[in-house]
Amino acid sequence: MPMIVNTAAYHFVSIADAEALSAQLLERARAGALRGTILVSAEGLNLFLAGSGEGIDSFYRQLHADPRFSAMRVKYSHSRMQPFARLKAKVKQEIIRFGREDAQPLEHARAPAVDPRTLQRWLRQGHDDAGKPVVMLDTRNEQEIAHGTFAGALTLPIVKFTDLPEALAPHRSALADATVVSFCTGGIRCEKAALWMRNDGMANVLQLDGGILGYFEAVGGEGYDGRCFVFDERVALDAQLQPLVDRDEATCAA
């Protein structure tokens, strides 16, 4: 039985025609029999789509042909089951809600990032290349963290992303002499979080390029305990990007 191709992608770029783009992408996804979520805002695009390899390839080939999204990175994984019940498209004020003027990607330079292989080396040696301790800062919520996180990471008791600034406040002084690496599932939240922290005076903050899923793709699960929660019926992925919950059609019919 052919496997379902699951994708996650986001890109911060100015979009003047959010309503029209949302409708266009919805029709393309329908034409490819895809399911999932399309989020569009003036600040960019955030996608969670799954379907056949042919449908996925066609959708992203057309999307990458648009100069605004030619550099958009797509993360792939596979499952026997379709993890989304339906297809929907929405226009939002932000493609991930944070509500901070000092974390607007279109108004500020992108925060510096660390790539997965460099982070793997830092975690192995116990410090960065300047000899500073590395603190992994989880920007996800408690539900996600319960399934897994980086070993020794600083986790915060938050329910939603907008809670992060207040929850981080008591820890800021203790982080002053470390290299702080913010991370999340696919990179979108830690990108905004790192931008906000640097603009708020924390010059020692980096973001993990590609998030946890990008780390799994590049180096596997070294330094990570457990699975990575995803917001669909797969529940969570292991370091080989295999779902915690997966069923073929026969199992679902039974």
- 56-69: pLDDT as tens digits: 999 999 999 999 99
For residue 247, the model assigns a pLDDT of 80
Find out whether 178 and 204 touch, Cβ atoms under 8 Å.
Answer: yes
Q: If we measure between CA atoms, which residue out of 98, 44, 83 comes closest to residue 230?
A: 83
Residue 202, CA distances (Å) to 39, 109, 168, 169, 173 in order: 30, 15, 12, 11, 10
Find out whether 41 and 98 touch, Cβ atoms under 8 Å.
Answer: no
Active site residues: 184
- Low-confidence residues of the chain: pLDDT under 50: 249-254
- 80-120: pLDDT as tens digits: 999 999 999 999 999 999 999 999 999 999 999 999 999 99
Distance CA 117, CA 30 (A): 37
Handedness of CA 204, 140, 215, 136 (dihedral sign): positive
For residue 248, the model assigns a pLDDT of 65
For residue 2, the model assigns a pLDDT of 86
